[in-house]
Structure 1
Amino acid sequence: MNDDLDPTQDLAEQVLQLLQAAPEGLAEYALIQQLKERHSGHIPNLPLADKLVLFRTHFLLFNALYRLRERLWQQGSHLLQISPLCIRLLPYEPGAAALSERDELRDYYLDMSQLRDTDERDVERLLTSFWTRMQGGDEKQAALELFELDDERALDLPRIKQRYRQMVSQHHPDRGGSTERLQSINLAMEILQRYYR
Structure 2
Amino acid sequence: MSQLDTQTHQDEKLRFQVQHLSIAVERILRENPLGINELNLIKALQRPPWELIGTVNYAEPDKLYPVHFLVFHVLYRLRDQLAQSGERLSISPLLIRLSREDVVSSTGAVGEVDQLRAFYLDLSKYQLPESSIFQMMDDFWSGRAGRQPARQEVNDAADVLGFGHLPDSFEDVKYRFRRAVMQAHPDRGGETETIQNLNQAFGVLKAHFRQTRTGNTL
Q: TM-score range by the shorter chain?
A: 0.5 to 0.7
CA contact (8 A) 1:44 1:57 kept: no
Check conservation: 2:87, 2:100, Cα contact below 8 A.
yes
- Answer yes or no: is the 8 Å Cα contact 1:11–1:40 preserved in 2: no
1:1-150 pair list within 5 angstroms: 3=12, 5-38=15-48, 39-41=50-52, 43-74=53-84, 76-93=85-102, 101-102=110-111, 103-116=114-127, 118-128=128-138, 148-150=170-172
TM-score by length of 2: 0.55
Q: 2:45 is matched by which residue type in structure 1?
A: L
Aligned residue identity for 2:132: D
Which deviations, in whole Å up to 9, do the C-alpha atoms of 1:61-101 show, x marking residues without a partner?
Answer: 10000000001012x141111111110111133999x8xx4
In the TM superposition, what whole-angstrom CA distance separates every residue of 1:89-144 from its partner, at most 9, and x where no partner exists?
A: 11133999x8xx4410111111111113x03232233345556778xxxxxxxxx9
Once residues 132 and 71 of structure 1 are traced to their aligned partners in structure 2, the CA distance between those partners, rounded to angstroms, is: 34
Per the alignment, in what secondary structure is the counterpart of residue 16 of structure 1? helix
**Aligned to 1:93, what secondary structure does the other structure show?**
coil
Per-residue CA deviations over 1:47-70 (Å, capped at 9, x if unaligned) read 222221211111111000000000
**AA matched with 2:120:** Y
Query: C-alpha distance in 2, partners of 1:55/1:87?
Result: 18
Identity of aligned residues (%): 30
Task: Work out which of the two has the higher radius of gyration on C-alpha atoms and give 1 or 2.
Answer: 2
Counterparts of 2:97 and 2:67, CA distance in 1:
19
Structure 1: segments with no counterpart, 5+ residues: 135-143, 172-197
TM-score when normalising by structure 1: 0.60
Output the CA distance in 1 between the equivalents of 2:82 and 2:143. 37
Alignment of 1:157-196 (within 5 A): 164=204, 167=207
Q: How many residues align?
A: 156
For residues 132 and 95 of structure 1, what CA distance do their matches in structure 2 show? Answer: 30
